[in-house]
Structure 1
Amino acid sequence: MTGAPPVRLKEADGWSEWQLTPEQIVALDESEHVKVRPSRRPGWCRIEARDRVGAARVGRGPAQVRLSVAPKVPVDRLLHLLGYAEEEWLHDGGPVDAAPRTDLLPAVARAYTRAAQRALRQGVLLGYRETEASQPVLRGRLRAAAQMSRRPGLALPLEVAYDEHTVDIAENQLLLGAARRLLRVPGVGGRQRVALHALTARLDGVTSPVPGAPPPRWRRNRLNARYHRSLALAELILGGTSYELEDGRAVTVDGVMFQMWRVYEAFLARALGEALTRKAGGWYKTQDRDHFLATPRRYVLRPDLVHYLPAPSGGRRAAVVVDAKYKRGFHRDDLYQMLAYCIRLGLRDGHLVYASGRADVVGVPVAEGEVRLHRHVLDLDQPPHQVKQSIDVLAGLVLSRAAT
């Protein structure tokens, strides 16, 4: 709805006042994209951004509002956190635009269309999909149980199952779904809309994912290697169209809203895990669900990063445990959580990495001695190459604590 009023916020900017109708205020409050409080002025409300950035339409009809939340870090640095700010990807070998991007969603749309165009240069990927159908002739294999239950005593038509060579496969469905989602996002216009429409036209014959349903699942292989970057973007875009509340309810978003704590956790776990592996060998797991607080297999623990080394007696041993915290200040609950990880994994040191605050160490006496809980800070306001250097330094520090 073009007449919907815009509400433009910035992450971590505090409260601001907006003049909206009661219906629009209710729609914003129920969406849980932002925090809403009453104002002393009639017809006004106070609004503060939560932990989500992006753009979405909230409400319907006269209650609709166009909401946009800008990230507190520069857009180019956020794209780096999202994992697709590589120059050859964004600029595709053409002239580099030196002007900083100020709007997140147009930048994401530009990165996605470039990646998708590159993926489709050699044509649309074809694959095999198992199809079940009723046919007048035998094709593939006969589904005997279905034939007898649906058409007892009848020779035709036949219930068959066969592998069809088609463009309607999971990889293309993800590309199409992400393109159509970006076309619905407020603020994406001009050349990007033209490019997105061209992309959807190239994917003719492909089924778009159902909004709110789990995205199609695909597997990396040699045949779809040229799609990998664009698929990573597509999954991120489609993942930003819904999120889960604390009570387990899933909320569908008419737009794209990225949960910054998820972005930060995924970036830090991957980047720090790779740095630890380069320096010390071994391997790492993100969102590791192999450990439980109690036996038998009760209360799963899910640290953001666990780095493993080979055990002297064979198998593996946990060497480092790390949890990422994208929040203001430190919280006691974080310490309790990391203490549980350390005790269960048998580690003397646990590491919490915040996006802001002050670094320190908390020693916790336990029966076997002491567990040291280290609180580190990763400054995201640095340029990407300095963030990488900071992660390398952090990896060295973490490994030195593990050695002692």
Structure 2
Amino acid sequence: MSVPLEARAGQALAASGILQSATPDPHRGGHWLLRAGSRVGAVRLADGPVVRITPKTPVRRLFFLLGFSLDPARAWRDSREGAIDTGAYDDVVPALAHAVERQIDGALRQGVLQGYREVDESALVVRGRLREAEQIRRHFGRTPPVEITYDAYTADTAENRILRAATERLLRLPDVPGPVRRRLSHQRVRLSEALPLIRGEELPRWQPSRLNSRYQPALRLAEAVLRGTSPEHRPPGTDPLAMDGFLFDMNKLFEDFVTVALREALRAHGLTARLQDPHHLDVAGLVGMRPDLVVRTGDGRTPIAVVDAKYKVTRGDGLPHADLYQALAYATVLGLGEAHLVYPGGSQQRRSHQVRGTAAGPRGRGVVIHQHGLDLSREPEHLLMAVREFAGQLASGRREGT
């Protein structure tokens, strides 16, 4: 689509990788042709407009897919689309802000989680343990003050820091509705004892436990917020131009859903599956490859199928050539007679390709590459049913598509 945009903003969008393409409109001065890629959400340019990228998949379905990235076991058990509450919002950012606020509110319903944290400080009285080396280095053995370390019972924990950071991040995003913004501000006050995170540093680590079980859904969603926002994009060779927003990568959401759901379904057939299974194309081990999912026998030793998920629109002739070449390489390295590619879409995506020159290939027959379509417009229970059927076909060695 063609939109009015200053040259500096258009160049920043083109260099950021947010869109599939951003080029000046040759027919309209001051306009840029923008084409969305695999990312959806909203980005606000500094002193400029808000760029909104709307997913073709319904927002509630998008958050259903997200559940397989955040908590695979729970998502597989609970096929309800409303497992993540998005309210009545149909846009990505408002739905996300509502979902995070509701999750945080549920986590804090029994009070703010507290825990022990090691504190180092200078004090006038001895408390805890004396840091002798620091005492000598800083004060030459004189007292007071004394350099001490002790365990403090505090709300300044990794869990609360992450929730506070996500709340503050959402409050800076465009398109957050007023009622949601007010509730987020209230949650930030409740988490005020946790120190703010320093921009650019890694997120603090937390370990799932019985004590933080009520926090875990909120923490996983909060981490998705913090990893899906980018405070600044700097096009090479240009001055910095700030962009503020949140973006989902549909490539990753689709890949996570297909591989995680398929892995869970294969367990019912006594098979194991490895995600991002590392291999090498060449004998010297210089060219690495990582198929999205390799299906193996129950003992994990023998590969029996390879699957790659691709969130993209196929070419006009229906043949994504690079994907076929990649699938052929996977089948060849693993010694398989078949490889499977899964795309979003209906039955029109279903087809098989017999590869020429492989008649004497693995298992004494030619290599066949199967394309499958997974219709994301279907209800969650139907999506999972299609995955179970696909898992059954892989287990039985059948060659037809889903």
Q: Write the distance in 2 (CA, Å) between the matches of 1:137 and 1:402.
A: 75
Structure with bigger strand share is 1
- Distance change >3 Å, CA 208–CA 253, structure 1 → 2: farther
The answer for unaligned runs of 5 or more in structure 1 is 1-15, 92-96
- Distance change >3 Å, CA 359–CA 142, structure 1 → 2: farther
Question: Is the Cα–Cα contact under 8 Å of residues 3 and 33 in structure 2 kept in the other structure?
Answer: yes
Q: Write the distance in 2 (CA, Å) between the matches of 1:234 and 1:140.
A: 34
- State the match for 2:219 in structure 1: 231
Which residue identity does 1:42 align to in structure 2? G
Which residue identity does 1:210 align to in structure 2? I
Question: Is the Cα–Cα contact under 8 Å of residues 212 and 252 in structure 1 kept in the other structure?
Answer: no
- Distance change >3 Å, CA 130–CA 301, structure 1 → 2: farther
Matched, 1:111 2:99: yes
| Offset, 1:140 | 3.8
Matched, 1:132 2:123: no
- State the match for 1:219 in structure 2: 207
| Offset, 1:86 | 4.6
Question: Is the Cα–Cα contact under 8 Å of residues 130 and 162 in structure 1 kept in the other structure?
Answer: yes
| Offset, 1:325 | 0.4
| Offset, 1:110 | 1.6
Percentage of matched positions with identical amino acids: 40
Structure 2 counterparts to residues 3-18 of structure 1, below 5 A: 16-18=1-3
- Distance change >3 Å, CA 184–CA 372, structure 1 → 2: same
- State the match for 2:392 in structure 1: 396
Matched, 1:81 2:65: yes
- Distance change >3 Å, CA 402–CA 142, structure 1 → 2: farther
- Distance change >3 Å, CA 20–CA 393, structure 1 → 2: same
Q: Write the distance in 1 (CA, Å) between the matches of 2:129 and 2:325.
A: 57
Q: TM-score, normalised by structure 1?
A: 0.80
Q: Write the distance in 2 (CA, Å) between the matches of 1:55 and 1:269.
A: 27
Which one of 55, 75, 92 corresponds to residue 42 of structure 2?
Answer: 55
Q: Write the distance in 1 (CA, Å) between the matches of 2:232 and 2:254.
A: 17
Query: Any idea what SS the aligned residue of 1:217 has?
Result: coil
Q: Write the distance in 2 (CA, Å) between the matches of 1:252 and 1:27.
A: 9
- Distance change >3 Å, CA 154–CA 287, structure 1 → 2: farther
| Offset, 1:134 | 3.1
| Offset, 1:345 | 3.8
Question: Is the Cα–Cα contact under 8 Å of residues 242 and 252 in structure 1 kept in the other structure?
Answer: no
Question: Which structure is richer in relative contact order (CA contacts within 8 A, separation 6 or more)?
Answer: 2
Structure 2 counterparts to residues 143-158 of structure 1, below 5 A: 143-154=131-142, 157-158=145-146
Which one of 366, 379, 382 corresponds to residue 378 of structure 2?
Answer: 382
- Distance change >3 Å, CA 403–CA 38, structure 1 → 2: closer
The answer for unaligned runs of 5 or more in structure 2 is 68-74, 236-240
Which residue identity does 1:53 align to in structure 2? V
- Distance change >3 Å, CA 380–CA 162, structure 1 → 2: same
Which one of 329, 340, 350 corresponds to residue 351 of structure 1?
Answer: 340
Which residue identity does 2:321 align to in structure 1? R
Q: Write the distance in 2 (CA, Å) between the matches of 1:377 and 1:186.
A: 34
Which one of 353, 370, 387 corresponds to residue 362 of structure 1?
Answer: 353
- State the match for 1:3 in structure 2: none
| Offset, 1:120 | 1.0
- State the match for 1:6 in structure 2: none
- State the match for 1:37 in structure 2: 23
| Offset, 1:271 | 1.4
Which one of 181, 195, 198 corresponds to residue 193 of structure 1?
Answer: 181
Which one of 260, 269, 274 corresponds to residue 270 of structure 1?
Answer: 260
Q: Write the distance in 1 (CA, Å) between the matches of 2:101 and 2:373.
A: 34
Q: Write the distance in 2 (CA, Å) between the matches of 1:152 and 1:362.
A: 78
- Distance change >3 Å, CA 372–CA 139, structure 1 → 2: farther
| Offset, 1:296 | 7.8
Q: TM-score, normalised by structure 2?
A: 0.81
Aligned residues: 370
Deviations 1:301-349 (A, max 9, x none): 33222344333xxx64444432210011143332333334334444433
| Offset, 1:203 | 0.4
Matched, 1:323 2:311: no
Structure 2 counterparts to residues 156-305 of structure 1, below 5 A: 157-242=145-230, 254-277=244-267, 279-289=268-278, 291-293=279-281, 299-305=287-293
Deviations 1:31-90 (A, max 9, x none): 3322212221222221111211111112x23xx221111101111211211128653652
- State the match for 2:72 in structure 1: none
Question: Is the Cα–Cα contact under 8 Å of residues 10 and 23 in structure 2 kept in the other structure?
Answer: no
Which residue identity does 1:337 align to in structure 2? Q
- Distance change >3 Å, CA 297–CA 230, structure 1 → 2: farther
Question: Is the Cα–Cα contact under 8 Å of residues 81 and 380 in structure 2 kept in the other structure?
Answer: no
Question: Is the Cα–Cα contact under 8 Å of residues 327 and 369 in structure 2 kept in the other structure?
Answer: yes
Query: Any idea what SS the aligned residue of 1:354 has?
Result: strand
Relative to structure 2, which stretch is displaced further, 333-342 or 291-300? 291-300
Question: Is the Cα–Cα contact under 8 Å of residues 181 and 255 in structure 1 kept in the other structure?
Answer: no
Q: Write the distance in 2 (CA, Å) between the matches of 1:223 and 1:276.
A: 32
Question: Is the Cα–Cα contact under 8 Å of residues 117 and 157 in structure 2 kept in the other structure?
Answer: yes
- Aligned Cα root-mean-square deviation (Å): 3.2
Q: Write the distance in 2 (CA, Å) between the matches of 1:337 and 1:145.
A: 58
- State the match for 2:71 in structure 1: none
Which residue identity does 2:256 align to in structure 1? A
- Distance change >3 Å, CA 138–CA 317, structure 1 → 2: farther
| Offset, 1:198 | 0.9
Which one of 62, 69, 87 corresponds to residue 53 of structure 2?
Answer: 69
Q: Write the distance in 2 (CA, Å) between the matches of 1:403 and 1:126.
A: 55
Q: Write the distance in 1 (CA, Å) between the matches of 2:31 and 2:83.
A: 47
Which residue identity does 1:82 align to in structure 2? L
